[in-house]
Amino acid sequence: MNYNKNRFSALLAGAMLLLTALDACRQEEDITSPTLISYTTLVYMAADNSMDSEVDYTLEELKSGAASSAGTVVVYLDRQDETPRLFTITQSGEEELLKTYDEGNAASASTLAAVIADAKSLVPADQFGLVLWSHGMGWLPYAHSSVKSQLLRVGTTSFPQTRYVCLDQYDGTSTSPNVMEIDSLANALPDNVAEYIWFDACLMGSVETLYQLRNKCSYFVASPTEVLAEATYDASGIPYSEVLPYMFGGKDDLVKACGYYMKHYRSLQYSILRSASITLVDAAELDSLYGSVATIFGGNLSSLASLDTTGIQGYHTDNVPKVFFDMREVVKTTDSSSTAYTAFTQQLARTVLYKDATNEIIDELSIDTSRCSGLSMYIPLTKWKATNEYSYYFNNLGWSGVY
């Protein structure tokens, strides 16, 4: 993304003043810590990549949010040049070490599964939530060439930064990057592993991703668009200082968490930072959603392959492969008058419990919120047939069965 350097400097100076004011307000708050409940949320931070620059900010946000949280937050942190470790953050903001690990691959689904097992063993609780914090590229496989170049960059020459689910650029034996593919993640995680899975990463609000993981939790929270990673500007993923207290209370609190997420981004000073989207999905409804779409799309792959995507609400900016379209928009384009479409929209409303988005994403992507269903969807166009993502989609992802 191109930007003016003078504009960037002005944005930086203004944002720092804003952060100073926000910090002062937070320090003046009289925080009363709630009584602890039996609920653990694991924040899995795969930061052995360019996201390392966001770690310190995120930890401070978590410590601030922990002061008002009734549940216990556990953090797994694998960052550049440090030994991976597992620790809790107390309500007083202290880190209490639970376990250290040898350098490994945080982008391995087996590593994630082992860390979840450790967290549940060392901090047992009646309820468990999971946050996956790292780079994200929806369901797309790593073999997509244009994705590689974006994820391998260190630092940024554009403003702002955004952030495969989990990327590890150094696993102790190789400097080759590793990523966690969605089918591998689904195979590694036990069913019902958590009450919710929240993707604090880009583009994970795709129906293909969530359907593949539908048996792993009761609820998903994800963003169909990119997620900002600009710690300097108080705009880096989940604003945990405001949202964390609502990540321990089931569906109703998750709705509140989503609301505070969007409120935070809408409150930022600069329009380029007022960029966010969020969706809350009932995992138990995804099979019925699949059925309603299969009724419309079944046997119609050839007609969809030539679909004109002009005018369909997309969730991709110029830096992202043009494969993330709004789900309802796609279905509406193909069949908007039948009883099957009506049944689909009714099922979609039962599946998506909360959705919201700003009108712009990093001053590049316009979103008509009245056309925003909360979920993105791939269109298997003829032009993609020779690509790795097309092959991965039909060979590895269960959602492709709708055709």
Is 60 exceeded by the pLDDT of residue 397?
yes
How many domains are there within the chain? 2
Cα–Cα distance measured from residue 382 to residue 150, given in angstroms and rounded to the nearest whole number: 25
- Residue 206 token pair: 């795709």
Residues 237, 157, single domain; the answer is yes
Cα–Cα distance measured from residue 151 to residue 157, given in angstroms and rounded to the nearest whole number: 13
Question: What number is the average pLDDT over the span 223-243?
Answer: 95
Residues 197, 321, single domain; the answer is no
Is 60 exceeded by the pLDDT of residue 11?
no
Residues 299, 248, single domain; the answer is no
Question: What number is the average pLDDT over the span 156-174?
Answer: 53
**Of 7-11, 63-67, 184-188, 290-294, where does mean pLDDT reach its minimum?**
7-11
Q: Other CB atoms closer than 10 Å to residue 180's CB: what's the count?
A: 27
Please tell me the predicted confidence (pLDDT) of residue 317.
85
> Domain limits at 389?
287-402
Residues 210, 81, single domain; the answer is yes
Residues 40, 183, single domain; the answer is yes
**Of 24-33, 72-81, 267-276, 308-317, where does mean pLDDT reach its minimum?**
24-33
Question: What number is the average pLDDT over the span 216-232?
Answer: 95
Burial of 93 (0-12, 13-18, 19+ CB in 10 A): middle
Residue matched to tokens 């960029």: 275
Question: What number is the average pLDDT over the span 196-213?
Answer: 96
**Banded model confidence at residue 237, pLDDT cuts 50, 70, 90:** very high
Tell which of 232, 259, 283 closes a domain: 283
Residues 243, 361, single domain; the answer is no
Please tell me the predicted confidence (pLDDT) of residue 147.
38
Please tell me the predicted confidence (pLDDT) of residue 347.
98
Question: What number is the average pLDDT over the span 99-109?
Answer: 88
Is 90 exceeded by the pLDDT of residue 50?
no
Tell which of 227, 258, 283 closes a domain: 283
Please report, for the domain that includes residue 169, its CATH number: 3.40.50.11970
Please tell me the predicted confidence (pLDDT) of residue 41.
98
Q: pLDDT, tens digit, for every residue of 244-292?
A: 999 998 999 999 999 999 999 999 989 999 999 999 999 999 999 999 9
Q: Are strands 194-200 and 217-222 parallel, antiparallel or unpaired?
A: parallel
Residues 279, 294, single domain; the answer is no
